[in-house]
Each structure stands twice: as structure tokens, then as C-alpha cells.
Structure 1
Amino acid sequence: MDYATFAQGTFVNMLGTLDRLAAAAEEAGIGEEALSLRLADDMFPLELQFRVAMNQVLLALGQVGNMAPPLDADSYTSFAQIRERIAAIAATLAAADPATWASPEDTVDLTLPNGVRFVMSAAEDIRDWILPNFYFHVTMAYALLRREGVTLGKMDFVAHMACHRIECEP
């Protein structure tokens, strides 16, 4: 399987996780004030955890997917808005043909807002930068919601695994 198809499948699965997290927050009656919560003072708030996770998909499409989707710069103000953005990003992702992505060996030159610069291949960009950041911010959103009392478990994080489940006899 090529890196683009692998990445696209991972994004689809975990955008589903983000949507389930936001839906669970809504169902639990967690107010919009929860979007400002942080695990630690030096960490991003819940809203930005969602936004940065979704921006990783857009960043991948822009860096190696031969698309030019703008990153979400404005803060989300509700879980409903987060779910709308997840759906929109999932639609953009679905329109991305992995066959048009950069060659795995093509160079990606990434400079972060803090001035740190990385030069790597397209496949390394996805494997070493995009996917770890994506999972990190999805996990932080999960952790913040758990801390707020939203009932979530491991299968909520990996619900996409249900299609692979085989019932076993004890």
C-alpha cells in the first residue's frame, strides 16, 4: 500500500473518532466553555486540539496531496461547529486522489511558526510529522473530554476497528 492511501485511510478513521468525541461531548451536555479547557497551562485548549488535529489533514493535502485547502485559523465556538468542520474536511479528503499525491521521495520543506525547519521526503512528512501530530491532538481532545466526565472508552477512540472484530469463545 502506498503512503498516500495509507494516510488517507488513517485520516478517515480518526476524523470519525474526532466526530464521535464531539458528539459525545454534545450528548453529555458539556457546555461550550469546555472548549477553553487545558490539560496543563502550557498546552493548547480543547478547541485548538480539535482544530490542530483537523489542520493536520489539510496540511497533508497541501504539502503532498497537490491540493491547496486553507488551514482553519478561526476558533471553533461549539461542538456542532467542530462536527460541521470534520464533515467538510472529510469531504475534501474524499476528493483527494492518492494517485495525484507527491512521489514518496519528493522533498517537503516545512518551516514551523517558531522558525524550526524540517526537510524530509513526502513519505517521511506523513509518517514522521503529520500522523504523529494528528494522533497527538486527537488523543489530547479525548483526554480533555474524559477529564470533564464524558463517558469514553478505548473503543470510542478506535471505533473503526469494529469492522475487524471477530467474536471469540472464552
Structure 2
Amino acid sequence: MTYAHSAQNVFVNMLGTLDHLASKAQDAGMTDDVLAAKLTEDMFSLELQFRVALNQVLLGLNQVAGKTVPLEEAAYRTLGEVRERIAAVRSLIEAVDPNEWADGNAPVDLTLPNGVRFLMSSEEDIQDWIVPNFYFHVTMAYALLRNAGLALGKMDFLPHMERHSIPSVGAALSLT
């Protein structure tokens, strides 16, 4: 399996997690005001955690998959809009052929808005920058929703694992 196939699988699974979290918040009757929730004043809000997570996927596609898709810049106003944007990014990543991604050794020159610059291979970009940042912001969305009172457990972070579950006598799937 190439780095591109692996990354595509991670993105699809964890975009499913983001959608599951937003859906569960809606089902619990949380208002859209939850999007302003923060853990501390110097951290991003829940809305920005969702948006930056999606932007990591888009940034990866732009850097190594030859795409020129615009990043998500406008703030999401509702949990429904969050779910719509997750679905759109998920459709985009599912439609991209990983065999067309840059060779794992192709160079990526990344300069952050603060001027910090990284020069790495395509595989390193995905492995060392994009995926860890993506997971960080997905994890922060989980933490913010849990902190806001949403009942969440580990399987809410890993809902894609349900497809691997097999019935066993007397055991329930719970990793909390």
C-alpha cells in the first residue's frame, strides 16, 4: 500500500469521525452556539477545529495530489453546515485516485503563514505534517464537544472500527 492509499484511508475514516461527532451533537440537541466553544482562550474554537481539520485534507491534495482546491476560509455558522462541508471534502478525497499522487520522493516546499519553511518529500509531508495536524484537530473537536457536555467515548472517535467488529458471547465493543 502506498503512502497515498494509506492517507486516503485515514482521511475517509476520520472525516467519518468528524461527521459522527457533529451528528451526535445535533442529535443531542446541542445548539450551534457550541461552535464557539474553546478549551482555553488561546486555542481555536470548535468551528475552527472542524475547518482546519478539513483544510489539512485539502492542503494535502493541493501539495501532493496535483489539485488546486481552495481552502475553507469562511466560518461555519451551523453544525449542519459543518456536516455539509465534511461531506463535500469526503466526496473529493474519495474521488481522487491515489495512484495519481506525486511519487513519495517528490519534493514539497511548505512555508507556513508565520514564515517557517519546511522542505520534505511528498510522503514525509503527508506522514509528518498533514496527518498529524489532521488528527490533532479531529481530537480537539472531540475534546471540545465532550467538554461541552456531549456524551462521547472512544468508539465515537473510532466509529469506522464497527465494520471490523465481530460478535462474541457476553462482550460489548467498548474501548473507553
The secondary structure found in structure 2 opposite 1:21 is helix
Q: CA deviation at 1:37?
A: 1.1
Contact residue 38 and residue 45 of structure 2 kept, 8 A: yes
Q: CA deviation at 1:169?
A: 4.7
**Cα distance in 2 for residues equivalent to 1:32 and 1:105:** 43
Q: CA deviation at 1:29?
A: 1.4
Q: CA deviation at 1:167?
A: 3.4
**Cα distance in 2 for residues equivalent to 1:38 and 1:165:** 34
TM-score by length of 1: 0.97
Any unmatched runs of 5+ in structure 2?
171-176
**Cα distance in 2 for residues equivalent to 1:121 and 1:154:** 33
Contact residue 109 and residue 117 of structure 2 kept, 8 A: yes
**Cα distance in 2 for residues equivalent to 1:165 and 1:150:** 24
| Correspondence for 2:158 | 158
Contact residue 58 and residue 69 of structure 2 kept, 8 A: yes
- Structure 1 runs (4+) greater than 3 angstroms displaced: 167-170
Q: CA deviation at 1:34?
A: 1.2
Q: CA deviation at 1:168?
A: 3.9
Deviations 1:68-117 (A, max 9, x none): 11100010000000000011111111111101100000000001111111
Deviations 1:105-160 (A, max 9, x none): 00000011111111100000000000000000000000000011111110111011
Any unmatched runs of 5+ in structure 1?
none
Q: Tell me which amino acid in the other structure corresponds to 1:131.
A: V
**Cα distance in 2 for residues equivalent to 1:49 and 1:68:** 22
The secondary structure found in structure 1 opposite 2:110 is strand
1:85 paired to 2:56: no
| Correspondence for 2:34 | 34
1:102 paired to 2:102: yes
**Cα distance in 2 for residues equivalent to 1:85 and 1:101:** 23
1:149 paired to 2:145: no
| Correspondence for 2:140 | 140
**Cα distance in 2 for residues equivalent to 1:38 and 1:100:** 38
Q: Tell me which amino acid in the other structure corresponds to 1:38.
A: K
TM-score by length of 2: 0.94
